[in-house]
Amino acid sequence: MFISYSREQRAYVRRLADHLREAAGVEAWFDYEIFTGERWDKVVRTKIDECAALILVMTPDAEDSHWVAEEVERARSRGKELLPLLLEGSPIFGFSTVQYEDVRGGGMPGDRFLRHLDEAIGGRRPPVAPQRSRGQLPRRRIEARQRRVSKPRAQRSAPPSPRNRRLDARFLALGLTAAATGLAALLVSPLSNALWPLVITSDSSGQQTSAGSSTITTSSTTSSSTAASTTSVAPGRNVRLSCYNNSTIVGLLARACDDAKSFGWTIADRGKYSEGVIPTTTVYYRSDPEEEAAARELAALLRMRVEPRFDGITGQPPGLIMIVTNDYQGPSRNG
């Protein structure tokens, strides 16, 4: 069973797939299950060709989606039965005269739809993996536990004795004491001023002083640059980043996400952008100074365009949105 939908309804589609599996024993596939390294368009075509029927989740976003139209056309050309579900708005053009299940409000399809689904599948129902009872261990974990229990006592590693633990603690304490003593001696030595030129504090008058007693008099520009180099934190690391694929190159989205993570960004969400064609790889930000600064930093690191959000993504959660196209370059190899 193939589910065709718009990306905005992904959360509902996940619940729908679970419901079909539990209520009817039907395995339903949707594009979130594409693995890194697979060619997206080829996998989708193959899944449509192999499915017994196509479930269409109808919403205004799905009606505007180029990819949903392509998937429906592919299913029709292969003689697949179409089973529409109306989740939002009104039926998609061309389906108003087709019998559909009304699930507006986020409900799950009822028994009539499941019976229709069962008729469409016929003898092609895939085997459903057996469900283990709650608290039951997987077979591999049970076998591993049995091997540990049957292992001869002489081969098991003995826990450290209380005496060995006390000796380990003493050696650790001696090592920490020696390290602290050496650091203190270094700080009070005549060379401390030369060795610690960047340890700067501010007294009550606003002047900057070093770790010693002498006052450091520097210009405001020098002081600002020194403080920035020792205390500034890159703004992008605290901003939510979502990555979406608009390319046809296998593994390109995963590569872009890995590049961003290598610079300290955390990927909050990833998926495909199927609402149109983006001309070049771009990171988008809301009208927020922190997000704009983070977007420009990320764009400089990964060599891509930076722009404010456009109308189609203004309703997405706060944070940066990176849409990857075929021209993605990534960070410069020269650093």
Q: Is the pLDDT of residue 179 over 50?
A: yes
Instruction: State if pTM tops 0.85.
Output: no
Helix-strand-coil split of the chain, %, nearest 5: 45, 15, 40
pLDDT, the chain, mean: 75
Q: By the 8 A CB rule, do 1 and 53 touch? A: yes
Q: By the 8 A CB rule, do 40 and 272 touch? A: yes
Q: How far apart are CA 46 and CA 74, in angstroms?
A: 10
Q: How far apart are CA 290 and CA 305, in angstroms?
A: 17
Q: How far apart are CA 292 and CA 286, in angstroms?
A: 7
Q: Is the pLDDT of residue 231 over 80?
A: no
Q: What is the mean pLDDT of residues 237-242?
A: 88
Q: Is the pLDDT of residue 192 over 60?
A: no
Domains and CATH numbers, the chain: 2-124 (3.40.50.10140), 192-232 (no CATH), 236-324 (3.30.70.2390)
Q: Band of the pLDDT at 219, cuts 50, 70, 90? A: very low
Q: What is the mean pLDDT of residues 87-97?
A: 85
Q: Which amino acid is present at 309?
A: R
Coil, strand or helix at 271? strand
Structural tokens at position 259: 């590049």
CA dihedral of residues 299, 301, 304, 307 (deg, nearest 10): 0
How much is the pLDDT for 162?
Answer: 59
Q: Which residue has the higher pLDDT, 57 or 43?
A: 57
Neighbours of 166 (CB within 10 A): 11
How much is the pLDDT for 213?
Answer: 36
- CA distances, 196 to each of 97, 193, 209, 210, 230 (Å): 80, 5, 12, 8, 13
